Amino acid sequence: MSKQTEISKSQRWVIKIGSALLTNEGRGLDKIAIENWVKQIVTLCQQGKEVVLVSSGAVAEGMNRLGWTERPATLHELQAAAAVGQMGMVQTYETCFKNYGIHTAQVLLTHDDAANRKRYLNARSALKTLINLKVIPVINENDTVATDEIRFGDNDTLAGLVSNLVEADVLVIMTDQQGLYERDPRLDSTAKLISQGYAGDPVLEAMAGSTGGRLGRGGMATKLRAARVSARSGTATWIVSGRIPDVLLKIANGGNLGTLLLPAQPPVEARKQWLGANQKMRGELYLDDGAVNVLRSSGKSLLAVGVKQIKGDFTRGDMVACLTLDGQEIARGIVNYSAEETTRIKGQASNRIAEILGYVDEPELIHRDNLILL
Ligand SMILES: Nc1ncnc2c1ncn2[C@@H]1O[C@H](COP(=O)(O)OP(=O)(O)O)[C@@H](O)[C@H]1O
Ligand SMILES: N[C@@H](CCC(=O)OP(=O)(O)O)C(=O)O
């Protein structure tokens, strides 16, 4: 059985519909296209699949309703447009699904909801309950309260997080291109489509451009990052064009279209998925080669002795990035000492911490249970 066929049979699907596709060339929502996708999703549900939707379109619909022709530059105007447009966006889904007797639920998340363990677990329980109730959650970023500090920015990253939250079997990212090409097809029309690969493969990630189209946000780069995040819950990611007629049904029938990105490793434990979902780092620890090898090969804790340099102003309990000396991020974790303390104990053996600081919180700088390799 091909991987396409195997995955097409899986049960829990997160489907992300991007701005590039949803908006009618920037003039509000493409309601006919939405009706069409809803019809396909209803068929998937009738086949026994569980579907969670991640949908963009709030800002575009808000601009349409407010009669704005240019995307606003200021954050408060974007927030206002999103508040207006979110109403129209959920109304459209609600109306379409109602025709088939299916309820929808609006779920708005910010990055803060992912970073805070309690809120992350709350979101997870609420989403799983909605799935069990056979309601279709329609998820978007809570743009109205999201400032740069706490925003995902693009909905691919949000969809990756949602895949982890609901432990999806497959994440389908619908966009305006057929899938991942060797190079951005808008810049090079001879670029070839990649039909299958592994999530997190650096060769594929290097192919993906980070600028979206006129309407979209993250381009292909955020879609590949979402695939890498999704793979932590064992979720396969499919990047396809939402313009292909019956695209979702074709996938469900084992069709070989778009780009399928498979998890290269078994799923990581749930707590580590949460660690990996946290995108905002409070600081950076630059590690010597020995520490990099230990982390990569044996999954042990990070000790202060392996840290060469630190950046950022973090406190105990914050999330920090661990990097090689040439700046490659290899892991993330929750740090046991503040930036000021870490500066004092870096390069030192753990048994010297008490002597240097006058106390010891933990012998490790980051305990292995609080560390996730990238
Ligand atoms: N290697 C690539 N393959 C395909 N598309 C790419 C690639 N690199 C960059 N892109 C661009 O990514 C865009 C899709 O991203 P985006 O506009 O953010 O869409 P969405 O709103 O659906 O998330 C495409 O229109 C394409 O120009
Ligand atoms: N949350 C925003 C959409 C963000 C966005 O455009 O993301 P994407 O669809 O990934 O390009 C909105 O609803 O307008």
The string of DSSP codes covering 236-257 is EEEEEETTSTTHHHHHHTT---
Mean pLDDT of 309-331: 94
User: For all residues of the chain together, what is the average pLDDT?
Assistant: 91
Ligand index nearest the alpha carbon of residue 159: 2
Ligand index nearest the alpha carbon of residue 29: 2
Ligand 2 atom with the shortest distance to the CA of 82 = 14
Cβ of 219 less than 6 Å from ligand 2? no
Domain 3-273 has CATH 3.30.540.10: no
Place of tokens 């105007």: 77
Q: Where are the beta strands (DSSP E) in 263-366?
A: 283-287, 307-312, 319-323, 329-334
Residue 150: what pLDDT? Answer: 59
* Angle between helices 117-132 and 270-277 in degrees, nearest 10: 110
Ligand index nearest the alpha carbon of residue 79: 2
Mean pLDDT of 257-275: 91
Reduced to 3 states (helix: H, G, I; strand: E, B; else coil), residue 214 is coil
Distance between Cα 22 and ligand 2 center (Å): 10
In order of 4, 9, 370, the CA distances from 1 in angstroms are 8, 11, 38
Is 154 assigned a ligand-binding role in the annotation?
no
Binding-site residues, ligand 1, Cβ < 6 A: 18-21, 156, 175-177, 180-181, 183-186, 207-209, 212-213, 216-220
Distance between Cα 79 and ligand 1 center (Å): 24
Mutating to test ligand 2, I would choose from 217, 223, 225 the residue with most ligand atoms within 8 A of its C-beta, which is 217
Q: What's the CATH code, domain 281-373?
A: 2.30.130.10
pLDDT cut 90: percent of the chain above it: 72
In order of 16, 25, 121, 281, 323, the CA distances from 288 in angstroms are 40, 50, 35, 20, 9
Q: What b/e readout covers 133-152, taking b as 16+ CB neighbours within 10 angstroms?
A: eebbbbbbbbbbebeeebbb
Please check whether residue 169 is in contact with residue 7, taking contact to mean a CB–CB distance below 8 angstroms.
yes
Please check whether residue 60 is in contact with residue 22, taking contact to mean a CB–CB distance below 8 angstroms.
yes
Distance between Cα 69 and ligand 2 center (Å): 17
Residue 212: what pLDDT? Answer: 66
Mean pLDDT of 181-202: 94
Determine the Cα–Cα distance for residues 82 and 58; give it in Å rounded to an integer. Answer: 5
Residue 245 pLDDT exceeds 70: yes
Ligand 2 atom with the shortest distance to the CA of 56 = 13
Residue 238: what pLDDT? Answer: 97
Residue 216 — very low, low, confident or very high, per pLDDT cuts 50/70/90? low
Predicted interface score ipTM higher than 0.90: yes
- Residues 6 or more apart from 273 whose CB is under 8 A from it? 164, 232, 233, 267
Residue 352 pLDDT exceeds 90: yes
Ligand 2 atom with the shortest distance to the CA of 59 = 14
Residue 324 pLDDT exceeds 90: yes
Is 351 assigned a ligand-binding role in the annotation?
no
Global pTM reads: 0.89
CB atoms within 10 A of CB 74: 8
Residue 149: what pLDDT? Answer: 62
Nearest CA to ligand 2 atom 4: 154
Domain boundaries, the chain: 3-273, 281-373
Distance between Cα 308 and ligand 2 center (Å): 39
Nearest to 128 by CA among 230, 120, 96: 120
Ligand index nearest the alpha carbon of residue 153: 2
Residue 115 — very low, low, confident or very high, per pLDDT cuts 50/70/90? confident
Residue 310 pLDDT exceeds 70: yes
